Amino acid sequence: MSASNENETNINGINLIAVKQLFDQCVDVDPSEWPSLFGQSQCNEVEIIQVEELLALAANEQQHSQHESIISQQLQDLGQKMMPNQRLGPYQIEHEIGRGGMGIVFLAHRADGLYEQKVAIKITPSFASQEELQRFHLERQILAQLQHPNIAMLLDGGTTPDNRPFLVMEYVNGEPITSYANSHNLNLKQRLKLFCAVCEAVNFAHDCLIVHRDLKPENVLVTDEGKVKLLDFGVSKMLQSEQLSGNTTMQQGLTLAYASPEQVKGERSTTATDIYGLGALLYELLCATVPHPVKTNSPEQAIQNICLKEPLHPSQVVGKTAQPLHYKALKGDLDNIVAQALRKEPVLRYASAIDLQADIQRYLKGQAVLATPRGHWYRLTKFVKRHPISTALAGALVMALNAGLIISLNLNQQLVAERDQLQKTQIKLEQQVVTADQVIDMLTDMFRAASPNKAQGKVLTVDDLVNTALAQIQTSLQDQPEVKSRLLTVLSDVHYYVGKDQKAVELLEQALTLKKQIKGALTAVELGDLGNRYRMAGQYDNAEKYLQQSMTLLEQTRETSVLDKIKIYSYLGLYYNERSDFEQALRFFTLQHQHWTEQPNEEIDPGATGVRYNLANSYRQLQQQQKALEIMTSVLADRQRLYGKTHPKIVETLSWLAGAYMENNQMDYALEASSHSYQLAQKLFEPNMNRYFESVITHAEVLMAIGEYQQAVALFAAEITPAVTNKRAKAYYDAFLSTALLNLGDYQQGVVHARQGFDILNPIYKDSIAFMYEVQSSYGLLAILSDTDIKQGTAMLQTLYAGCVKQWGEQSQRAGLIMHYLGISELHKGEFTQAQAYFDKAAKTFDQVYDANHKQRGALAQSYGELYMAQRQWSEALPWLQKSLTIFGKSQAPGTLPITLVNAMQAEALWHMGDKRQASVLLKRHGDTIINQVTTESVYHQYTIGLQQLISTNDNR
Amino acid sequence: MMKDKDGGSLELTEQLYQELKGCANRILANQNANLTLQTTEVVNEACMRLIESDSKFNDKAHLYRSAAKAMRHLLIDHARAKATDKRGNNAVKTAWMDDLLSGTDENIGLIVIDQTIDEMQSISERLVSIVELHYFAGFSQPKIAELLSIGLATVERELKFARSFLSQRLQHQE
């Protein structure tokens, strides 16, 4: 044994074999026997101490999971590694550029040659369930809309083959803001200006209801051009909806040095968390250190400091060290600003990033800042002491709503679409929810209901949340009408945002009635709000009543602010627009635009593009296409500049332009705009969102305008799925599909879809001819052509014609088109004289409203041809058919139905005139093309087959 | 194994691959049942190493032991690379909260585990095999006993020592 002792002794002079032997002897016996076993052993003192330690550890079971967890963490980590050149979708990984608690970031580039673009791909750790993947997908939709010049854009996302989600972000080649400031020797003013840009970006995110939660220099880069870019929103927001309970996983991925008190305590993060993050960032920009430096060996101490200790003022820090900034410049205002952003209590910080920014700007202009030393916070602290929970919960409510929504898919989509509006609700809540124990109780209940713990296993809807609150408000607060009125207003908003228009208007009416009782009268804006809400609920009588009152009041009172005027004018414009009184709409939108140019408010409508959009819209409705297009192309350019090229507003603008180009017979432009819009919509929207289906409809309209009817039918076949639950979307898809089928000659199918669409839309829009025009015209004509209900169809077309004349005048495109349709139905009935009269009338109108090559004139020429052929006047028909072909040749794609069909008609006419050879040639060339494009249900199918039989009989003879 | 390229060796490769995949899945399953992981990549790499090591397998136990060892080396290389990275790139600023709270740096942790297993080499080869099969192949104790043709009590005793020994070395790191 002694010989082996020397051989087996390790570097520390310990014989491990002996240690293990002694350990094995002792481990299964009672500790009281250990001393004697130690005495008998050959181990030296050091070895015995080691054995004692090991035995103590063996008794402590807890220690052991540690090894497994270290190993499995490594394995997980390794599993996330991407190899250089590995492909993820269209992206090729170049190399790793960063990693942290919440994932790994790789530099990559597009490998499909579509764009030369470097991107950063963030791969998150594995997700557990299908549900979470789905949630991730929804989050991506939200993030996709987070487009701001100072925020690194989310470009794409997807899942790896093993189901791990990844995000593709714009790759920003820049320097962390603090090191940028130092390496460029920025002075105080330059630093503050840079910081203001950060505030703006953070504020934009907050407007989108997204909290960053991890603001720190590494996430705030400055590019070579000096432009600020915020990074890493993706993970922050995903965390948001993930785990809300206060366990440690919530803290993963946070950097302690920049974490807020509520974060280290594992409490809910709100927008105030980012205000703290901004404060920490500003602190470091000013004095080159973080508010609470973290020593790696004592995170506990750091956490305690963050939660309890007031950091030194920047001026004090600078005073101690030789920093480029002088402490005199920091002392006072800047110290106060930083301190207010870094308050331990979220409610005591700046209410928003914009408030923080505004205070800095006041400082830069030499004005008095709002931030004050802590002692002067008497009033607010007093308020908070009185109502500590209500204030905190006010903010929590909307976050809770947001979290709840993620669970309920449909409502979530609506809310995502309207989330900027919801942000306004949040602000209102913060401003207005003030007192009363009942309020606190109510909010507490809602808050609890929204927590994922409660929601687990069942679908929690916004309805559930709001109804709980509503029931409580309506039965309580009798003695506090003011609070009640305010809360009802907020809940009215919430109802509106989730699509319950009727309930929304009802609640607002209640709220304002209460208000009127308290204050005696309502303001112009309040009346306007109510009128507008009635408009949105489709109750036009009430809408008009209140809007008129609002307008009257506006004219009487001098003190209405310009912003309020703008608001009321836009309500009126929207109202008249919806009632199809476009002259009036234009009048109010013009007023709105005038006031706007006097006092632009970039926060509400950057570049006034929204105002100009409405204006262009009115011009378009008034058939002043050139003017409308002029305004809107400038809106598109401004919006692309302001929002980036992939943004919901761009979809809307492109769709609009596609429609207007189409009306102006500029088909190439129209198709380009509508395809682009449709592609963007697929990327940005869920199928049930209004903006999605509007884009689909526009694209279909353009396809039909160039004669690609089967493509339009294919588009609808792809879009009409059981997943589409939006009623309006369904109705419009049906309506437009019926128009496509009408043109393809499939009247039976067409009339079915037309009726479906009509039945949904008519109850909602029966007063608004602009909304009903499409579905009513195709339903009317199809009812006749399919012989379903000739009488009703005729009546519908005649009513519609009268409506068009009233709305747009006799010499308008729409009136002309209905006249043409009336002619077609007379022709179908065999009333040739009447048909001719209608066609002649339509022709007169078309001469005035369309240029010579417009498709519609080609269609009319075709109808004349049909009219003569129906009367067996073959030679009279021919020149019309020829004219029709010439016109179609200008706008219709070659080989599309209108062109081939007229060729077949020519063949028929020629055959009857005796030119059987020419007829046969023409039909051979075009007959099968027609048959390939239409279904067997189509009248054109039957017509062509019949014609082929007729003409081939002749061949055989 | 690479020397004779007949059908038998290919079969062995496929078997080896499946074994490695099993190793990875077992390690993860012991920790968190819900994880999905890109095990394929990891396993591929471990497999390549094993093939390149050009060794011959006498029996199934040998194969398993080799697989566990390959996994161990793969992970330790990864941890070393990361540890170097962390020291290199602004080590202070990317002090992640979870790292700080857990008290252990998992990279250093694995390096310590690796060194400790090397130390155990001086005690016995069998101890090392048991540790590797348990920690890096995720086998249960009865399965290890069966593979190494030893009693279950022995496996339990050896692991008891190994656990305490690893814990001690991890405590003493730094």
User: B6: distance to nearest CA of chain A, Å?
Assistant: 31
How high is the pLDDT of residue A132?
52
Interface with B, mutate which of A72, A83, A175, A214 (most B CBs under 10 A) = A72
Please tell me whether residue A870 adopts helix, strand or coil conformation: helix
How many Å is the Cα radius of gyration of chain B? 17
A832-868 pLDDT, tens digit each: 999 999 999 999 999 998 888 888 999 999 999 999 9
Helix ranges (DSSP H) in A850-915? 855-870, 874-891, 897-912
Is it the case that residue B8 has pLDDT exceeding 50? no
Measured between alpha carbons, how far is A810 from A819 in angstroms, rounded to an integer? Answer: 10
* Domains held by chain B: number: 1
CATH 1.25.40.10 domain range(s) in chain A: 385-635+653-670
Max CA distance (Å), chain A: 128
- CB distance A54–B161 less than 8 Å? yes
In 3D space, the residue among A66, A353, A122 whose CA is nearest the CA of residue A253 turns out to be: A122
Question: Mean pLDDT throughout A474-494?
Answer: 65
Q: What is the 3-state secondary structure (H, E, C) of A826-857?
A: HHHHCCHHHHHHHHHHHHHHHHHHCCCCCHHH
Q: Give me chain A's average pLDDT, please.
A: 77
- CB distance A253–B166 less than 8 Å? no
- Residue B172 is encoded by which pair of tokens? 């003493």
In 3D space, the residue among A782, A735, A737 whose CA is nearest the CA of residue A759 turns out to be: A735
* Second CATH level (architecture) for the domain A173-374: Orthogonal Bundle (1.10)
How high is the pLDDT of residue A673?
95
Confidence of residue A391 (pLDDT cuts 50, 70, 90): very low
- DSSP per residue over A498-557, as a string? TT-HHHHHHHHHHHHHHHHHHHSS--HHHHHHHHHHHHHTT-HHHHHHHHHHHHHHHHH-
- Residue A497 is encoded by which pair of tokens? 């945002």
Which of B36, B110, B161 comes nearest A162 by C-beta? B36
Per the domain annotation, does B1 fall within a domain?
A: no
Measured between alpha carbons, how far is B139 from B126 in angstroms, rounded to an integer? Answer: 15
Question: Mean pLDDT throughout A228-240?
Answer: 58
Question: Mean pLDDT throughout A159-171?
Answer: 72
Measured between alpha carbons, how far is A397 from B144 in angstroms, rounded to an integer? Answer: 55
Confidence of residue B128 (pLDDT cuts 50, 70, 90): very high
Per the domain annotation, does B2 fall within a domain?
A: no
How high is the pLDDT of residue A459?
32
Beta bridge partners of A100: A103
Question: Mean pLDDT throughout A73-86?
Answer: 66
* Whole-Å CA distances, A600 to A80, A355, A424, A594, A637: 50, 19, 20, 10, 19
CATH 3.30.200.20 domain range(s) in chain A: 87-171
Q: What is the 3-state secondary structure (H, E, C) of A584-625?
A: HHHHHHHHHHHHHHHCCCCCCCHHHHHHHHHHHHHHHHCCCH
- CB distance A79–B41 less than 8 Å? yes
Confidence of residue B168 (pLDDT cuts 50, 70, 90): confident
Measured between alpha carbons, how far is A102 from A243 in angstroms, rounded to an integer? Answer: 13
Q: Give me chain B's average pLDDT, please.
A: 70
Q: Which domain holds residue B23?
A: 7-171
Question: Mean pLDDT throughout A395-424?
Answer: 35
CATH 1.10.510.10 domain range(s) in chain A: 173-374
The answer to whether A109 and A90 are in contact (CB under 8 A) is no
How high is the pLDDT of residue A531?
94
Is it the case that residue B68 has pLDDT exceeding 70? yes
The answer to whether A504 and A498 are in contact (CB under 8 A) is no
Q: Does any CB of chain B come closer than 8 Å to the CB of residue A131?
A: no
How high is the pLDDT of residue A406?
28
Confidence of residue A748 (pLDDT cuts 50, 70, 90): very high
Question: Which residue is closest to B108 within chain A, CA to CA?
Answer: A70
- Residue A747 is encoded by which pair of tokens? 């009247």
Residue A547 CB burial class (10 angstroms; 0-12, 13-18, ≥19): buried
How high is the pLDDT of residue A717?
92
Residue window 277-306, chain A: list those with CB within 8 Å of chain B.
Answer: 294, 296, 299
Q: Does any CB of chain A come closer than 8 Å to the CB of residue B42?
A: yes
Confidence of residue B95 (pLDDT cuts 50, 70, 90): very low
B10-43 pLDDT, tens digit each: 455 667 777 777 777 776 665 543 444 455 556 6
Neighboring chain B residues of A99 at a CB cutoff of 8 Å: 82
Q: What's the CATH number for A385-635+653-670? A: 1.25.40.10
Residue pointed to by tokens 């402490």: A327
Q: Does any CB of chain B come closer than 8 Å to the CB of residue A52?
A: no
**What CATH class is the domain A87-171?**
alpha beta
Is it the case that residue A831 has pLDDT exceeding 60? yes
* Whole-Å CA distances, A810 to A50, A526, A804, A825, A840: 104, 40, 7, 19, 14
The answer to whether A30 and B68 are in contact (CB under 8 A) is no
How high is the pLDDT of residue A493?
65
- CB distance A294–B95 less than 8 Å? yes
User: A306: distance to nearest CA of chain B, Å?
Assistant: 13
Per the domain annotation, does B147 fall within a domain?
A: yes
- CB distance B164–A58 less than 8 Å? yes
Which of A24, A53, A80 comes nearest B168 by C-beta? A53
Is it the case that residue A210 has pLDDT exceeding 50? yes
User: B147: distance to nearest CA of chain A, Å?
Assistant: 21
Give the whole-number percent of chain A exceeding pLDDT 90. Answer: 28
How high is the pLDDT of residue A460?
35
Measured between alpha carbons, how far is A372 from A333 in angstroms, rounded to an integer? Answer: 8
Give the whole-number percent of chain A exceeding pLDDT 70. Answer: 73
Q: Computed from CA positions of residues A834, A840, A841, A843, in that sequence, does the dihedral angle turn out positive or negative? A: positive
Confidence of residue A5 (pLDDT cuts 50, 70, 90): very low
How high is the pLDDT of residue B151?
93
Residue window 57-96, chain B: list those with CB within 8 Å of chain A.
Answer: 74-75, 78-79, 82, 92-96
Please tell me whether residue A176 adopts helix, strand or coil conformation: strand
Residue A523 CB burial class (10 angstroms; 0-12, 13-18, ≥19): middle
Confidence of residue A396 (pLDDT cuts 50, 70, 90): very low
In the sheet that holds A174-176, the strands lie side by side as A174-176, A220-223, A228-230
Quote ipTM for the complex: 0.79
- CB distance B27–A72 less than 8 Å? yes
Neighboring chain A residues of B47 at a CB cutoff of 8 Å: none
Confidence of residue A130 (pLDDT cuts 50, 70, 90): low
Q: Does any CB of chain A come closer than 8 Å to the CB of residue B167?
A: yes
How high is the pLDDT of residue A96?
75
How high is the pLDDT of residue A375?
39
Residue window 141-180, chain A: list those with CB within 8 Å of chain B.
Answer: 160-164
Is it the case that residue A511 has pLDDT exceeding 80? yes
The answer to whether A20 and A55 are in contact (CB under 8 A) is no
Confidence of residue A750 (pLDDT cuts 50, 70, 90): very high
- Residue A736 is encoded by which pair of tokens? 């437009």
Question: Mean pLDDT throughout A930-943?
Answer: 90
Question: Mean pLDDT throughout A170-182?
Answer: 87
Question: Mean pLDDT throughout A528-537?
Answer: 88
